[in-house]
Structure 1
Amino acid sequence: MSVSLTTYIISILVAVLAVVYIMYPVPALTPEIEEWRNSGKYLKFKSFYIFYKVVKGRSDQGGTLLTIHGFPTSSHDWVKILDLGLLKNVQQVIFFDMLGYGLSQKPRNYDFSIMEQADIAEAILNHLDIKEFHVLAHDYGDTVALEMLARLINYIAERSKYKERWVGALVGAKSPDPVNPRQFIDHYKKTVPNPSITVLPDHIGHYPQWEAPQEFITAYNTFLQKQLK
């Protein structure tokens, strides 16, 4: 068989597989995800529908907590800590799926950006008339949270003063898991003024809210209580 014929056959097979992949029906939602979807709502952002969900907290203080999930998952990442204490110190918690993730719309051949994901988070906050809020972010969501913070820099004198030092360290550091090795902790403590950091046990990987929900929520609530004092 000639090289050209082999290449032709391979090209045909790849094309057939691509068509099968594109036309293959989307798997049905699991009962758990379907329940998550049914308890939420959709907000239209530009021409896209973004899933979000608001859960009432158990405190009459503490304000609003906005959660931002990571890559490549969804807001359902936080479900294990929802009843373990996430609602304890806040009035409400907002969950949402970023564009292209989870239950939100997934446009093809689209130029996704951190800036637009931050726009979406702000659109949800504006829709709910939220002016002040805390952020709990993970992985890719950390960068979205930093973009949101950067937009407030000019209004926060202290953060404006330390903009390059803080944001540069958080974004540029080579990082307590396979994604962010332990060396990052020492670098963070040296670089960020008055750092607040909790080191979880070594067996916990990059998804602590899923792998060790109790340890995660205990650490988070300890941090939050310090900030609310």
Structure 2
Amino acid sequence: MDEFANWRSSGQRFTHRGHQIFWQSGGTGSGGALLCLHGFPTASWDWHLVWPDLCEQFAPVLAPDLIGFGWSAKPQQYDYSIADQADLSEQLLREQGVARFHILAHDYGDTVAQEMLARDAERRAAGDTSLVLESVCLLNGGLFPEAHRPRPIQRLLAGPLGPLVGRFGNEKTFAHSLAAVFGPDSRPDDEQMHRFWLLWCSKHGKRNGHKVMHYLAERRARRERWVGALTRPQVPVRFIDGTLDPVSGERMVRRYRQLVSEPDVVELDEVGHYPQLEAPTQTMRAFQEFHGTRVT
């Protein structure tokens, strides 16, 4: 059995709003609980290259396929939202008996993390210690909507033709669009790209692409809440960014430095949108340094 098939077969399931959610778990370390939140359009499989190191440092390590992604349910009649993905993530933490946790997030998962940062601030203000966020590490993502540049296919999915674009899109166009966000020297090979396509298409996922893409509008509508969570954090936050990313690379770093006081930023040269896949060693070095020096 190859690693991709093993990731799926060794995963677990829990029920969120009546739907089965896939998640992967591990961990033997002493660094506390870690929640890993993947990006669009992929799934928890994105973490597989850094998974052994994460599991050596933390326990438990929890990596769900958010609803509408990967091997989780992809219901057609469903209101996909960032708030619901945060609910799903918190449900998983609570069901696993986790009261304190760290976050490692990427892309779409960054926005979920921003909502969870905002909720954590609200709980702290209310004296609620039932679920405590201890740190957040963000990889390339649309942290500030004004600095985010969606790919053409994302704009199409989010527009009036979205249902048709999603339903009739093919593997070739998917691969072409996704490859463009990687660095020129670190793009997935054909087999890796086919696996991403399988994650997107499984459980008839293509038909829901336009619904999942509502998060672009959500980012604009809820900018004050989610940007505010980043500019006024109550826990340590680090931003690790692959600067060659056309979606959220150097432009996002500049905006981060403008808006966040005392910004903790690590820039990875020659890396695109997926640092954990393109430069796993560099990404883990920056992540572990963050936890070794900033988190107690």
Give the alignment's TM-score, normalised by structure 1. 0.75
**SS of the counterpart of 2:147?**
coil
After TM superposition, give the deviation of residue 37 of structure 1 in Å. Answer: 2.0
Counterparts of 2:93 and 2:117 in 1: how far apart (Å)? 14
After TM superposition, give the deviation of residue 97 of structure 1 in Å. Answer: 0.3
After TM superposition, give the deviation of residue 128 of structure 1 in Å. Answer: 0.2
Q: Report the CA distance shift for 1:173/1:217 in structure 2 as closer, same or farther (over 3 A).
A: farther
**2:8 equivalent to 1:37:** yes
After TM superposition, give the deviation of residue 106 of structure 1 in Å. Answer: 1.0
**SS of the counterpart of 1:194?**
coil
Where does residue 113 of structure 2 map in the other structure?
A: 145
Where does residue 190 of structure 1 map in the other structure?
A: 258
CA contact (8 A) 2:22 2:71 kept: yes
After TM superposition, give the deviation of residue 54 of structure 1 in Å. Answer: 1.4
**2:94 equivalent to 1:126:** yes
**2:14 equivalent to 1:46:** no
After TM superposition, give the deviation of residue 31 of structure 1 in Å. Answer: 4.0
Match of 1:111 among 66, 69, 79: 79
**2:36 equivalent to 1:67:** yes
Match of 1:209 among 276, 279, 282: 276
Where does residue 171 of structure 1 map in the other structure?
A: 144
What whole-Å deviation, never above 9, does each CA across 1:78-106 have from its counterpart, x for those lacking one? 001112x2234322211110001111011
| Sequence identity percentage | 39
Where does residue 154 of structure 1 map in the other structure?
A: 122
Where does residue 55 of structure 1 map in the other structure?
A: 26
CA contact (8 A) 1:54 1:94 kept: yes
CA contact (8 A) 2:144 2:252 kept: no
After TM superposition, give the deviation of residue 41 of structure 1 in Å. Answer: 1.0
Q: Which moved more, 1:144-153 or 1:126-135?
A: 144-153
Query: What amino acid does structure 1 have at the position aligned with 2:276?
Result: Q
Match of 1:222 among 266, 289, 292: 289
What whole-Å deviation, never above 9, does each CA across 1:15-63 have from its counterpart, x for those lacking one? xxxxxxxxxxxxxxx8433311221210011210001121023x3x210
Counterparts of 2:56 and 2:110 in 1: how far apart (Å)? 23
Counterparts of 1:183 and 1:71 in 2: how far apart (Å)? 19
CA contact (8 A) 2:144 2:255 kept: no
Counterparts of 1:221 and 1:145 in 2: how far apart (Å)? 19
Say what the alpha-carbon RMSD is for the aligned residues. Answer: 1.9
**SS of the counterpart of 2:292?**
helix
What whole-Å deviation, never above 9, does each CA across 1:123-176 have from its counterpart, x for those lacking one? 10011010100000000000011111111222446xxxxxxxxxxx94344052
In structure 2, runs of 5+ residues without a counterpart are 126-141, 149-242
Where does residue 165 of structure 1 map in the other structure?
A: none
**SS of the counterpart of 2:79?**
coil
Where does residue 96 of structure 1 map in the other structure?
A: 64
**SS of the counterpart of 2:266?**
coil
Counterparts of 1:51 and 1:184 in 2: how far apart (Å)? 31
Counterparts of 1:73 and 1:119 in 2: how far apart (Å)? 20
Query: What amino acid does structure 1 have at the position aligned with 2:95?
Result: H
Q: Which moved more, 1:116-125 or 1:103-112?
A: 103-112
Query: What amino acid does structure 2 have at the position aligned with 1:188?
Result: Y
After TM superposition, give the deviation of residue 216 of structure 1 in Å. Answer: 1.0
Counterparts of 1:173 and 1:225 in 2: how far apart (Å)? 33
Give the alignment's TM-score, normalised by structure 2. 0.59
CA contact (8 A) 1:173 1:184 kept: no
How many residue pairs get aligned? The number is 185
- Runs of 4+ aligned residues of structure 1 deviating over 4 Å after TM superposition are none
Q: Report the CA distance shift for 1:181/1:53 in structure 2 as closer, same or farther (over 3 A).
A: closer
